[in-house]
Amino acid sequence: MLNSEEFARYARQLMVTDLGDEAQEAFSTSTVGIVGLGGLGCPASIYLAGAGIGKLILMDKDQVELGNLYRQVLYRDEDIGQPKAEVAAERLRAMNHHIQCEAVVESIDSQELTAYLDEVDLVLDCTDNLETRLEINRTCVAFQKPLISAAAVGWEGQISTFRFDQSLSPCLACVIKAGNGGPPMDCSTAGVIGPVLGTMGSIQATQAMKILAEMEEDESTWMHRYDGRSSRWLSSRISPSPECRVCNPHAD
């Protein structure tokens, strides 16, 4: 049951159609894993903490650098040299004392991620490396955990939600194989606009809340692309690839 302070804190959220007390209580008992606490993970974690998600597991081995500050909105000058996951956990707990935050300051490979997947309800991929993103994808497929994967470079961003807890969901490897994944997302060589990352991270948080609230959605998986320069969106359906060795056990 929500107490009086929680009712006051989440009042405007509780008023929203399809949410209410039951959804808020579901949020408070949910655990979300966030891999990467950079330009995507910062806004996503801020909004999930604000929404009252019960526990956030924050995974990032990197330290705060000066070049992060213009787009990674949880960090300040005095945080330079400190582990991102630990700084983020401290800031988010200060933002909402009703939630728990666990910092994981290690390189996240499949073995490390596996150790936490029994605990989490879903995973947000907020990393900026394609190899890591595919590793997260493979692990979430194996454990049938929903995955919300986003990326951004320059003025453009993209996001897809994969429901591996449901049958016949495609995966990120299907997207890449079909050529729908676009060029490799690498902001370290091509640069990135901070608010584009903020847009994509905010949508990741929105998608997570919809899943945790068990809101009905179109069962199809979509790739949503955002062009910040033109302020336009382009969406396309993603189908499972019969040749995908990650999500199709019958692939040759």
SS3 letters for 63-132?
ECCHHHCCCCCCCCHHHCCCEHHHHHHHHHHHHCCCCEEEEECCCCCHHHHHHHHCCCCEEEECCCCHHH
Decide: 148 and 161 in contact? Cβ < 8 Å.
yes
14 phi/psi in degrees, rounded to 5: -65, -25
Catalytic residue status for 247: no
Using a 10 angstrom Cβ sphere, with 0-12 exposed, 13-18 middle and 19 or more buried, the burial of residue 17 is exposed
Q: Which two tokens stand for residue 43?
A: 């806004």
Give the residues across from 156 on adjacent strands. Answer: 153, 227
Catalytic entry in 140, 187, 244, 247: 187
> Residue 103, by phi and psi: left (phi above 0), alpha (psi -120 to 50) or beta?
beta
Tell me which residues are annotated as active site: 187
